Amino acid sequence: MTKPLLIAENISKYYDGRVACEKVNFELWPGEVLAIVGESGSGKTTLLKCLSMQIAPNAGRALYSLRDGRTESLSDLSEAERRFLMRTDWGFVHQDPREGLRMGVSAGANVGERLMAVGERHYGRIRSTALDWLNRVEIAGDRIDESPRNYSGGMRQRLQIARNLVTAPRLVFMDEPTGGLDVSVQARLLDLLRGLVRTLGLSVVIVTHDLAVARLLSTRILVMQQGKVIETGLTDQVLEDPQAPYTQLLVSSVLQV
Amino acid sequence: MTTGYNFAYLNEQTKRMIRRALLKAVAIPGYQVPFASREMPMPYGWGTGGVQVTASILTPQDTLKVIDQGADDTTNAVSIRKFFVRTAGVATTEETEKASIIQTRHRVPEAALREDQILVYQVPIPEPLRFLEPRETETRKMHALEEYGIMHVKLYEDIARHGHIATAYAYPAKVNGRYVFDPSPIPKFDNPKLDDCAALQLFGAGREKRIYAVPPYTKVRSLDFEDHPFSVQKWEEPCALCGSTTTYLDEIILDDKGKRMFVCSDTDHCRKSQEKAA
Amino acid sequence: MRTILKIRNLAKQFRLHLQGGVRIPVFDDLHLELAEGEALAVTGPSGKGKSSLLKIIYGTYKAGQGEILVRHDDSWVDLARAEPRQVLEARRRTIGYVTQFLRVIPRVPTLDIVSEPLLERGIAPELARERAALLLERLNIPERLWSLSPMTFSGGEQQRVNIARGFAAHYPILLLDEPTASLDQENKARVLKMIDEARDQGSAIIGIFHDASDRRAVCTREFDLSRAA
């Protein structure tokens, strides 16, 4: 494909006149992993919510290249189209897996739900697809009928990823996906995500305050400060040769071990 | 008939409001129409929704039958029947064939219904999506956009846990190929009777303030999986009283030693079968 | 042999905002051309920007001024101005880079690290792993280590894993930052031979070699930064 998957055009969001994010522009091409970094309050989560249509921006728009080849402004889509997009062509990985999972039903049903939502009506196929996905996110198949309540934090997060990827989405939004996890569990998850992103050719917009996560997962970085994008570029370039004063501060503040 | 009340207890304005809701419900089969449910002289859970629907459609010429769990002589059925005798003075019957309006809780009569009959269901929880989605705003949107995937999540859970679809009552179905609805807590045994039924079927939920309907001869299809198709309950033995093998049976415990028997839950139908055999 | 890299008027300085905005100049008006099959040794005293030059060509450092023209798919791309995805595309198929230190990803087995560049080109996993195994074998990494993360390996082992990764796929331009620095004589000889082979296959090489004898062994030309800029 030779055109961007997602285009942000001058996206701005204000809360009571206060800037949450302002005039954000970028293009996300197929297969790219874009990390939005910045400290808390920099507007990165607001931007993610605007892009994924959880909130409406006050100005600007996001354009998306649909599977049928049309590129449409997301705000012009009908609600039915938007919701269909969200459960088929998009994924959203929340920091807290409880927000992205149905805690009251089994792991298998959590993975199978999107399949049933797009019309799969064969129990055997749903179950074998769910098993396959549990396997891909390194969850033992014999735990398919357990509630995610019995799962550890790392397993829940991997289950949330499987639940999102089962319909082969092209774009996945991630909000601090490793945020709530122990460091040892983080490494495993990051490695898993890297592998999935490459083998599935996913495009990802990931919000993180952790530059190590950005380095491991992303191909490009967008640095935000006080609602504005102050620097963008290749991940290694932004981290090794940061240009803006704030980026230099951010990079130099990372603890070395 | 007790004087001092309007015919069938409710005032005419209220009946009109409910009839408007009923017309809308008939026009959009399976769609839950909100209505201004009134306080009734009986507690919620005793069929206030069904009573309000019945009161709104009742005429002095009607013959009313009320059943609870298939029987005409249970407390709930008796008290509702008495209520309408006192407030409307209508004729009542225990015979399905003779009734023009049948109000029911938990069963559909075994005898096939006719075009000149109306079946009124008492509904505790009208929203089939409530199991997985607690937000009313969200369930309404899901109905509007026909997002019914999560209904199958419930059925999936059944099979994963029990090896088959264990949901035995309030079994969700799709009406007229559009709205998924809860046929009230009838056994799934009765679901096929709703399909293409000659009688008008009205559903009233008093506490939840919802009315919905299945018009005569409307397609009602129970949800299922291709490899786990919908099926109804079966019993190993016939009805101990009438010998029927085609009806819904209740298990009756006879003594402390675990002695039991299976008998028809539809008492009128069972009696008729016994009379015919005799 | 065709020219494959043209650097014109390259200037670079670092500006350290956290230290009062002090400017550290690296190059000013640097020119460089490289043809297929050439091996260029970048020389000069330390602190003259040898590693910086490699990083600028690779895009890890941002060029200040000038052009970095690279022949990519038979057309010239100016990496100093290219979009990130164009730079990534050039890195995937045109420019390889063996850094001085291996940046390890926790938990990823050595064999996977080495085969990754091949997988990114769409080569089948089995084939990629076969080729990776061959390289690791050649660089004396014992097979029992292949399934482990190189995180706990010795410096020399890590460097050899890094070289195996850098040589896994064929690149028309190969940047080598002290590839032989922490290697013993035997392994050094193997790496130098691999560099020669790459050159024989037409790769253009730009390398930093601490050791003058290594430099003489593989390089066709020297580029002295203290005189160039």
Please give the pLDDT value at position B2: 61
Amino acid, single-letter form, for residue B186: I
Q: Name the β-bridge partners of A207.
A: A36, A175
C-beta atoms of A241 and C55 within 8 A: yes
Could you tell me if A89 and A170 are in contact, meaning their C-beta atoms sit under 8 angstroms apart?
yes
Angle formed by the axes of helices A123-136 and A107-117, nearest 10°: 120
Measured in residues, chain C has a length of 229
Please give the pLDDT value at position B3: 65
Convert the pLDDT of each residue in B188-215 to its tens digit. 999 999 999 999 999 999 999 999 999 9
Please give the pLDDT value at position A199: 86
* pLDDT surpassing 90 at residue B81: yes
Q: Mind telling me how many Å the CA of C64 is from chain A's nearest CA?
A: 11
Pairing, β C3-16 against β C65-72: antiparallel
Active site residue B239: yes
Please give the pLDDT value at position C229: 52
* pLDDT surpassing 70 at residue A256: no
- Taking the Cβ of residue A62 and every Cβ of chain B, the question of whether any pair is shorter than 8 Å is answered with no
- Taking the Cβ of residue A140 and every Cβ of chain B, the question of whether any pair is shorter than 8 Å is answered with no
Q: Which two tokens stand for residue C223?
A: 């580029």
Distance between CA atoms of residues B49 and B185, nearest Å: 14
Please give the pLDDT value at position B56: 98
C-beta atoms of C84 and A219 within 8 A: yes
Handedness of CA C64, C67, C72, C76 (dihedral sign): positive
C-beta atoms of A233 and C84 within 8 A: yes
Please give the pLDDT value at position A257: 58
Q: Mind telling me how many Å the CA of C61 is from chain A's nearest CA?
A: 5
Distance between CA atoms of residues B217 and A163, nearest Å: 40
Q: What is the 3-state secondary structure (H, E, C) of B33-67?
A: EECCCCCCCCCCCCCHHHHHHHHHHCCCCCEEEEE
From the candidates B149, B206, B242, B243, give the one annotated as an active-site residue. B242
Nearest to A220 among C18, C84, C119 (CB): C84
Cα R_g (chain C), whole angstroms: 18
Task: Please give the helix or strand (H or E) that residue B268 lies within, else none.
Answer: helix B267-277
Convert the pLDDT of each residue in B230-249 to its tens digit. 999 999 999 999 999 999 99
* pLDDT surpassing 60 at residue B161: yes
Which of A4, A21, A25, A3 lies closest to A13 in space, CA to CA?
A21
* pLDDT surpassing 80 at residue C105: no
Convert the pLDDT of each residue in C116-143 to its tens digit. 999 989 899 999 999 999 999 999 999 9
Convert the pLDDT of each residue in A29-74 to its tens digit. 999 999 999 988 899 999 999 999 999 999 999 999 999 999 999 9
- Taking the Cβ of residue C108 and every Cβ of chain A, the question of whether any pair is shorter than 8 Å is answered with yes
- For residue B102, CA distances in Å to A231, B92, B263 come to 73, 10, 22
Distance between CA atoms of residues A246 and C204, nearest Å: 38
- Taking the Cβ of residue B152 and every Cβ of chain A, the question of whether any pair is shorter than 8 Å is answered with yes
Q: Mind telling me how many Å the CA of B190 is from chain A's nearest CA?
A: 23
Angle formed at CA B129 by CA B123 and CA B130, multiple of 5 degrees: 70
Chain B residues within 8 A of A114 when measuring between CB atoms: 149
pTM attached to this predicted model: 0.90
C-beta atoms of B160 and A144 within 8 A: yes
Active site residue B242: yes
* First-to-last C-alpha distance (Å) of chain C: 26
Confidence of residue B84 (pLDDT cuts 50, 70, 90): very high
Segment C57-86 mean pLDDT: 94
Q: Mind telling me how many Å the CA of B231 is from chain A's nearest CA?
A: 15
